[in-house]
Amino acid sequence: MFRSPAKRNLVLGLLLVMVTLALYNPVTRNGFVGYDDEGYVTDNPHVQAGLSWGTISWAFTTWDQANWHPLTWLSHALDCQLFRLNAAGHHYTSLLLHAMNALVLFLILQWFTGYTGRSLMVAALFALHPLNVESVAWVAERKNVLCMLFLLLALAGYGWYVRRPGVLRYLVVAIFFAAGLMSKPMVITLPLLLLLLDYWPLGRMSFAANEESHDQASRSGLPFAASTQPVSKLCLEKIPLLVLSAASAAITMIAQSVGGAVVSTATISPLLRLENAIVCYMLYIEKTVWPSHLVPIYPFPHALPKWQVASSALFLLAVTWAVLKYRESRYLLVGWFWFLGTMVPMIGLVQVGNQAMADRYAYLPLIGLFVMIVWAAGELASVRHIKAKYVVTAGLAVLCGLSAVTRIQMRYWQDGFKLWSHTLAVSPLNFVAENNLAVTLIKHGRRDEAIPHFRTAAALEPADPTSQLNLGIYAQEQGDLKQAATRYELVLELTTNTQLRASAYSNLGSVYFALRDYTRAQQNYEAALKLDRVSPIVLRDLGLIAEKTGDWNQAIYYFARLVSAEPSDVGYLLLSHALYQGKRVQEAQLSYQQALRFSTDINQAQQRASQLMAE
């Protein structure tokens, strides 16, 4: 049918891309879900500015969202430049990246192993599996699909290097690896993956003399022509990449510590983290085989049944023993340790956030399980002499079933209401879902409906700072300033998260400002500014406090920062008044002219400015 294997692979690859795009196409009708999407896109002025030099500089220097991933920021900025805040464009970029990942995965596996059908099946499982919906349908998870593309390109570059080792070819691998790390540190385990690929399917490892006959027998089915090397030399070969991994790990820990994302051992004990990791390994396998009850976040348990921990540990040990015992089937060992190894950075031994596990964390590890399953099925079919048509029919049936579940799962990501309502239906004791549903309700002006969800979240998890913060906001809006202050102070005790602390300090400052306790208001506002340097309300109130004490230079300083961060007619009027009082009449007049330029009703703006100065 095809004149050459290359044309066959191209056609099959394009078919895979078309099926992936067709299956996921409804995602382009989804909106932003409001779960980290604000910080990454919709409320991020740097990203919305597009690909400017200012955005590029910011992307490489910020710890925003408790991460250092400049290429992810630039990817979002490019989308904003192309599509503004049209969610369809942002979603389609993620979908295209996912489809490209499936294509590159297929081509790499086929190149490395020589098996077309098996490689296509692994790539199709990766493309269509419901566990990967979260990475594609959630705009804030752009980093997942982007870093995977760079990792796969690094693997392709490694195959090129293995064919004819050289510094330039090795540098290509390192560049793609660095790009992946600058998208998301999830790919930090690449050196381990390369060693696994050296074992199979590249067959680069040479063993001791007493293992040589076994090695030669097991190498007989390896199509990738590569010269063998001692294991020690192959390990040394990976040292430059390990240096990149170590640097990324250090940067990530700094970013997450600065952002307050790392959970202390006092909050979650090392033993509970280990138990949760063991159980979650098992749960990821279960959801791979039977993908049901999928939600954006699985809350961390306060305790785990000992039987569940023990049974999960026994299963993991049994599989590990089996793949080592039957290591002549090299794909079993490689697939299993691919799954175990690539999951380590996300399994929660160093706990970041309040999730026990997350579907998006399986995006890379799933490939190892798929390789094990597909190659084992292929070997079984070969040994049992099962006809190809039956194997293909079974494979298509599996893919159709997974596609149907994937299509259903995508619907839940249409908006915040559907996502969090579904999450609570599947996981009713989920305080994160309660919080996020409440936030969604507030954004749609349904505050009275939101408050019970915040209260439920606080009851489920009294140490949750987000629900306490929102209950404080509600109390403040109702005029109960004492309760609001108590809630905000509790938030400051409960969290080290930079954004939550900035909000708590800012809101606490506004409480004291309303109480006319300007000294304490200023203290809290200045604490907020150290965490969030562009908060307009904080800058405005600090300027007003400086006015009340007659410090006009300080008032000018804060009002100038206010109009720089958020230009408005009221802001320029406040600045104009401070400049006039500070005897800088000409600058005051220029500021007033700016107020006229921004205003649609200057009289109303003057009334608002006068009202603020009189409070």
Question: CA-CA distance, 188 to 181, in Å (whole number)?
Answer: 7
Tens of pLDDT, residue by residue over 34-82, are 889 999 999 898 999 999 999 999 999 999 888 999 999 999 999 999 9
* Nearest alpha carbon to residue 115 among 16, 221, 195: 221
pLDDT at residue 265, as a whole number: 58
Number of domain units in the chain: 1
pLDDT at residue 422, as a whole number: 95
Instruction: Work out the average pLDDT over 321-346.
Output: 95
Question: CA-CA distance, 501 to 76, in Å (whole number)?
Answer: 26
Ranges 315-319, 384-388, 466-470, 564-568: which has the least confidence: 564-568
C-alpha angle 196/362/255, rounded to 5°?
A: 95
Contact 427, 295 (CB under 8 A): yes
Contact 69, 183 (CB under 8 A): yes
Query: Averaging pLDDT over each range in 3-12, 105-114, 579-588, 590-599, which range is the top one?
Result: 105-114
Residue 59 lies in a domain: no
Instruction: Work out the average pLDDT over 361-382.
Output: 96
Residue 611 lies in a domain: yes
pLDDT at residue 264, as a whole number: 60
Residue 287 lies in a domain: no
Question: CA-CA distance, 48 to 40, in Å (whole number)?
Answer: 10
Residue 221 lies in a domain: no
pLDDT higher for 603 or 338? 338
The token pair that represents 574 in the structure block: 């406040």
**7 pLDDT tier (thresholds 50, 70, 90):** confident
Burial of 250 (0-12, 13-18, 19+ CB in 10 A): exposed
DSSP code for 299: E
- Alpha helix (H) residue ranges in 344-464: 366-383, 388-411, 416-426, 431-443, 447-460
Burial of 210 (0-12, 13-18, 19+ CB in 10 A): exposed
Residue 267 lies in a domain: no
pLDDT at residue 349, as a whole number: 74
- Alpha helix (H) residue ranges in 114-189: 116-128, 133-137, 142-163, 167-181
Dihedral over Cα of 253, 257, 261, 265: its sign: positive
Helix (H) or strand (E) holding 356: strand 355-357
**564 pLDDT tier (thresholds 50, 70, 90):** confident
Q: Which residues pair with residue 205 across a beta bridge? A: 229
Tens of pLDDT, residue by residue over 105-153, are 999 999 999 999 999 999 999 999 999 999 999 999 999 999 999 999 9
pLDDT at residue 220, as a whole number: 42
Q: Position 75: which residue type? A: S
Give the three-state DSSP class for 355. strand
Burial of 134 (0-12, 13-18, 19+ CB in 10 A): buried
Residues 6 or more apart in contact with residue 576 via CB below 8 angstroms: 588, 589, 591, 592, 595
**444 pLDDT tier (thresholds 50, 70, 90):** confident
**409 pLDDT tier (thresholds 50, 70, 90):** very high
**348 pLDDT tier (thresholds 50, 70, 90):** confident
Tens of pLDDT, residue by residue over 261-295, are 666 655 678 899 999 999 999 999 999 999 999 99
Residue 206 lies in a domain: no
pLDDT at residue 211, as a whole number: 47
Dihedrals φ, ψ of 299, to 5°?
Answer: -60, 150
Question: CA-CA distance, 357 to 458, in Å (whole number)?
Answer: 21
pLDDT at 216 over 60: no
Ranges 219-233, 315-329, 481-495: which has the least confidence: 219-233
Question: CA-CA distance, 310 to 274, in Å (whole number)?
Answer: 12
CB atoms within 10 A of CB 208: 9
Give the three-state DSSP class for 153. helix
pLDDT at residue 210, as a whole number: 44
pLDDT at residue 533, as a whole number: 64
Residue 356 lies in a domain: no
pLDDT at residue 212, as a whole number: 46
Instruction: Work out the average pLDDT over 457-463.
Output: 89
DSSP code for 26: G
**Domain region containing 569:** 534-615
Average pLDDT, the chain: 91
pLDDT at residue 269, as a whole number: 85
* Nearest alpha carbon to residue 91 among 6, 4, 33: 33
E strand map for 144-260: 205-206, 229-230
Residue 604 lies in a domain: yes
pLDDT at residue 242, as a whole number: 97
Task: Give the CATH number for residue 542.
Answer: 1.25.40.10
Q: Which residues of 166-181 are buried (b: 16+ CB within 10 A; e: fewer)?
A: eeebbebbbebbbbbb
Tens of pLDDT, residue by residue over 515-555, are 999 999 999 999 998 887 667 888 999 999 998 888 899 99
